[in-house]
A and B are shown apart, each in its own frame.
Chain A
């Protein structure tokens, strides 16, 4: 422990005012001007108050007490507190409210929690929590440093989140500029060479020890890609394998699903390691030689196409379908093959970049959160000043 610092149990440096608390059931609450607090914060506003001074509250039950959780918070003025939050008045000659709150929120208090079905921080255990206490002046300094740092970190987090969103927007913007939706249009039916609905195999016919992998709708992602979902396996006759096996360049369209998910599509870009068949909620389309399946896949991501597919969704329950009889008439603006292919190459490149950017921002967000914790720990170990 740093010089001048001591460690005291909470019960010794604070008054606990739990005996003055009173709950009011929702039915009996009358709206008023005074905040009504519970374990997690302000729940309501009521017409009377129990306390009128600056205090620290920490959840007794119905809250979280891990490191970084907002278990403790400050209140002041006229307030009412129910019996799910402890009411603490620190001895301000030794301990500042802000210091106490930072410490309680930064620490993992699980060793003080009891109860199996309803975890609880009871008063006795709460009083046992050991608080590192530097001289008051130093507390104020450290709190000031933490406040500024955290303000900055919140801003940094906002920036990272905004940029994460913008990365997505960036792709959409480039996509919209490359995939033209005006120009001479053809119908879907005019560009396919064959369509095929998949094989029916019930749950009972699926197992992990059967010979042929069976692709289902969970393998079609929301961005036109094949997901890493594990494939179940089924039995097939040789005839079925040759008819239903997937090749690169196959365009897969989900014909039946919930309202939000139906209509998702993807293209097979990598060959499968073994012959793989697909299920009956998926329509496979193969295109004529002048059509690039990858281009069509990108086209399906456009707003124009999404709009057309929305109108085709039919169904009154939670299973919604888009049938080929509707799909065949959707319109696409199709440039010549060379243009299609060059657009695909460009979009692929942009997509890769954007994905790597997104990854970086996600990592950044984790780092910011780690930094927060690390700063707090240094603070309480006395290493910040």
Chain B
């Protein structure tokens, strides 16, 4: 339905000189879509209020409303004569629209309101369009999109996802935004969040985990109360980076969660000792950033200090889990073997039941050379044994051939019983070396690499082949 529209938007964006990369395209598409979405919601609420005979105060003043500055059509569908375009449009957007919307953050009563969200979004991003004509064209295309039916939302969300995926492929930083969806779905099948539980992602990026969880938990026969719970009291995310934050909000909205509970904050700035029971969650899913990108001061917030962000996040997640809560977290595979992380491994095994480790092959994450594992743990019990599964799709993964759902099916199946198989085995807690705490992935069933043959044997084979070839060539000569 909307594929052509999105492709047209892409074309305009590519021609716009102010935009340089997939990240820019996603960002700029987002704010325009957001305003249109907002307008549609306002319209719906206004119509409802009219039917009920109540008054509805629109969030945005008249001159900021989409139909005033963006839409090129009058209410009755005829074309407007006074459409803003060119220089005028850019001036309006840069000097009136954005600054007004930015102010909402200060004026909003609480971070949960739509006003606050609007203010945040427009504080974080800037308009990068330089040509009012390009912007005009994009506005026209977006004007034709509608957010009201389930089908429309679904298709829009798919298209938006595909743009996010492109960001994921956009070079080295792509991994920041995109975790392959088949991996997310497998993690969800294992943690299996239920309605009534809360799901948390402290490094939500583009909200992939939350959105997939919502999709999984939204059964067709869901009751109205459950639906409401799902919409408002289930998903919680935090994201530090502005661009990802915007994308996350938009992504959740397009998938049907109208008021996403995503905070624009740096999770690592929270002191983990301050986390209280009311802040805890039932299910945690995440792919936190790796590496040493954070300022040294944040380490104060954690009992086990480390320059590696992933390790700090794990400590955060351990404390954010309720007793009995389940978590699935992606981390560098060196976490299992690195000497620096031994203390953290000890803590994890003491406070939680690390029941499963999924070893992912290289290239699961495009653009990153690192090998990752997924840790599955439950709070409240110590670890007695850990089941390992070495994922091996038996092909090389790449941008055009990413990981698929069926390739994780065996993992999900075997995980239920934690059975042994050529790719899975169990390690007992007491077998882990107490000093090194080395938990690195070592498949005991992996066939020994075919031992190198004796040189004499190899040479024998080569000579046999040569003899055969000589015979064949002689035969051919005979035929000539």
**Contact present for A317 and B465 (CB under 8 Å):** no
- Can you list 26 A-B contacts with CB-CB less than 8 angstroms, sorted by A residue number? A149-B476, A149-B479, A152-B473, A155-B468, A155-B469, A155-B472, A156-B468, A166-B458, A166-B461, A166-B462, A169-B453, A170-B455, A170-B459, A173-B452, A173-B454, A177-B455, A259-B362, A259-B369, A316-B290, A316-B369, A317-B291, A317-B368, A318-B172, A320-B369, A364-B469, A384-B479
What A residues does B369 contact at CB under 8 A? Answer: 258-259, 315-318, 320
Which bracket fits the contact residues of A? 35 or more
How far does the alpha carbon of A33 sit from the alpha carbon of B469 in the complex, in Å? 40
Q: A169-B453, A170-B459 are in contact. List 19 more A-B contacts (CB 8 A).
A: A145-B479, A149-B479, A155-B468, A159-B466, A159-B468, A166-B461, A167-B462, A170-B462, A173-B454, A173-B455, A173-B458, A177-B455, A258-B369, A315-B369, A316-B290, A316-B368, A317-B172, A317-B291, A317-B369
Task: Given the known inter-chain contacts A149-B479, A169-B452, A317-B172, please indicate yes or no for A159 contacting B458, CB distance below 8 A.
Answer: no
Annotate B462-480 by CB proximity to A: 1 below 8 A, 0 otherwise.
1001101100110110011
Closest to B473 in A: A156
What A residues does B391 contact at CB under 8 A? Answer: none
**Contact present for B465 and A162 (CB under 8 Å):** yes
Closest to A384 in B: B480
A374 to chain B, nearest CB (A): 10
Closest to A159 in B: B465
How far does the alpha carbon of A152 sit from the alpha carbon of B334 in the complex, in Å? 51
Annotate A243-282 by CB proximity to B: 1 below 8 A, 0 otherwise.
0000000000000001100000000000000000000000
6 tightest CB-CB pairs across the interface, nearest first? A259-B369, A159-B465, A152-B472, A316-B290, A173-B452, A156-B469
**Contact present for A316 and B472 (CB under 8 Å):** no
Closest to A364 in B: B469
Task: Output the residue of A173, A258, A318, A375 with the most chain B CB within 10 A.
Answer: A173
What B residues does A156 contact at CB under 8 A? Answer: 468-469, 472-473
Annotate A149-176 by CB proximity to B: 1 below 8 A, 0 otherwise.
1001101100110110011011011101
How far does the alpha carbon of A50 sit from the alpha carbon of B238 in the complex, in Å? 58
How far does the alpha carbon of A371 sit from the alpha carbon of B172 in the complex, in Å? 47
B470 to chain A, nearest CB (A): 9
B448 to chain A, nearest CB (A): 12
Is B332 an interface position by the 8 A CB rule? yes
Is B324 an interface position by the 8 A CB rule? no
Annotate B294-321 by CB proximity to A: 1 below 8 A, 0 otherwise.
0000000000000000000000000000
A165 to chain B, nearest CB (A): 10
Is B123 an interface position by the 8 A CB rule? no
What A residues does B465 contact at CB under 8 A? Answer: 159-160, 162-163
Is A352 an interface position by the 8 A CB rule? no
Binding site for A on B (CB under 8 A): 172, 290-291, 332, 334, 337, 362, 367-370, 449, 452-455, 458-459, 461-462, 465-466, 468-469, 472-473, 475-476, 479-480
How far does the alpha carbon of A258 sit from the alpha carbon of B172 in the complex, in Å? 12
What B residues does A314 contact at CB under 8 A? Answer: 334
What A residues does B172 contact at CB under 8 A? Answer: 317-318
Task: Given the known inter-chain contacts A258-B369, A318-B172, please indicate yes or no for A170 contacting B458, CB distance below 8 A.
Answer: yes
What A residues does B334 contact at CB under 8 A? Answer: 314
B456 to chain A, nearest CB (A): 9
How far does the alpha carbon of A174 sit from the alpha carbon of B459 in the complex, in Å? 11
How far does the alpha carbon of A160 sit from the alpha carbon of B473 in the complex, in Å? 13
Annotate A299-340 by CB proximity to B: 1 below 8 A, 0 otherwise.
000010000000100111110100000000000000000000
Is A378 an interface position by the 8 A CB rule? yes
Task: Given the known inter-chain contacts A149-B479, A170-B455, please indicate yes or no for A316 contacting B332, CB distance below 8 A.
Answer: yes
What A residues does B475 contact at CB under 8 A? Answer: 148, 152
What A residues does B473 contact at CB under 8 A? Answer: 152, 156
What A residues does B480 contact at CB under 8 A? Answer: 375, 378, 384
Task: Given the known inter-chain contacts A316-B370, A318-B368, please indicate yes or no for A148 contacting B453, CB distance below 8 A.
Answer: no
A131 to chain B, nearest CB (A): 23
How far does the alpha carbon of A154 sit from the alpha carbon of B367 in the complex, in Å? 39
**Contact present for A153 and B458 (CB under 8 Å):** no
What A residues does B459 contact at CB under 8 A? Answer: 170
What A residues does B468 contact at CB under 8 A? Answer: 155-156, 159
With beta carbons under 8 angstroms apart, the residue of A166, A170, A316 that contacts B291 is A316
How far does the alpha carbon of A349 sit from the alpha carbon of B469 in the complex, in Å? 27
**Contact present for A311 and B466 (CB under 8 Å):** no
What A residues does B462 contact at CB under 8 A? Answer: 163, 166-167, 170
What B residues does A153 contact at CB under 8 A? Answer: 472, 476
A202 to chain B, nearest CB (A): 20
Task: Output the residue of B367, B461, B462 with the most chain A CB within 10 A.
Answer: B462
A156 to chain B, nearest CB (A): 5
Instruction: List A residues 329-379 near B (Cβ within 8 Å).
Output: 364, 371, 375, 378
What A residues does B453 contact at CB under 8 A? Answer: 169, 173
How far does the alpha carbon of A148 sit from the alpha carbon of B455 in the complex, in Å? 34
Closest to B334 in A: A314
B337 to chain A, nearest CB (A): 7
